[in-house]
Amino acid sequence: MERVDRPMGELPEFFPASLFPEEKTETAAVQPAGFLRRVVAFLIDFFIIEILYLALAAAGFLGIRYSTGGEGPFFTEGGSLTPWVAPFIAAWFCLFLGYFTFFHASGGQTPAKMLIRIKVVASGGAPLSPFRALIRSFGYFLSSFFFGFGFLMTIFTRKKRALHDLLTRTEVVLA
């Protein structure tokens, strides 16, 4: 079996190169964003998502209460919550994916990334396509497995890339 040498922190490609073509653009030297900047930006974004979700959940719970006349499973004993809670969990996932996909595809910066002054770009420096931004958003869930090891990879890789960055060939740089 032939050994393939890669620089430290580089993983094999999981998606074919044709799926994410690297667009070369003329840019000045970019500096990768560090782990702490990325964590602070993610926590701010997560807080924003949770505020949006709480507003959505409150509207949903009020809608359920008024549509059932106060007799829904939240207000009686012995009722099963599973069919009532599952849509709220699905709504949270859609909100999470939609938030990151929209902002990364339309400029590479979420509100928190704008505040912290970091930006997500494709490996060649080009903006992210909507498909790449969506796959990157799904990659957050992969990065969170095994106690967040996919996020912690940022500390050890040369270009400070997390697992979801490696999967989608993206970089987080100083804006």
* Residues 125-175 pLDDT 10s: 899 999 999 999 999 999 998 888 999 999 998 889 999 999 999 999 998
pLDDT given for residue 83 in this prediction: 72
Q: Which amino acid belongs to residue 76?
A: T
With a CB cutoff of 8 Å and minimum separation 6, the contacts of 123 are 22, 169, 170, 171
Q: Pick the residue with more confidence: 91 or 14?
A: 91
Alpha-carbon distance of 99 to 94, in angstroms, equals: 8
Alpha-carbon distance of 47 to 129, in angstroms, equals: 25
Q: Say yes or no to pLDDT of 48 above 50.
A: yes
- φ and ψ at residue 87, rounded to 5 degrees: -65, -30
Would residue 23 count as lying in a domain? no
pLDDT band at 26; cut points 50, 70, 90: very low
Domain count, the chain: 1
Would residue 82 count as lying in a domain? yes
Would residue 114 count as lying in a domain? yes
Return the axis-axis angle of helices 82-105 and 130-156, rounded to nearest 10°.
90
Would residue 61 count as lying in a domain? yes
Give the pLDDT mean for 103-132. Answer: 94
Would residue 93 count as lying in a domain? yes
Q: Which amino acid belongs to residue 55?
A: A
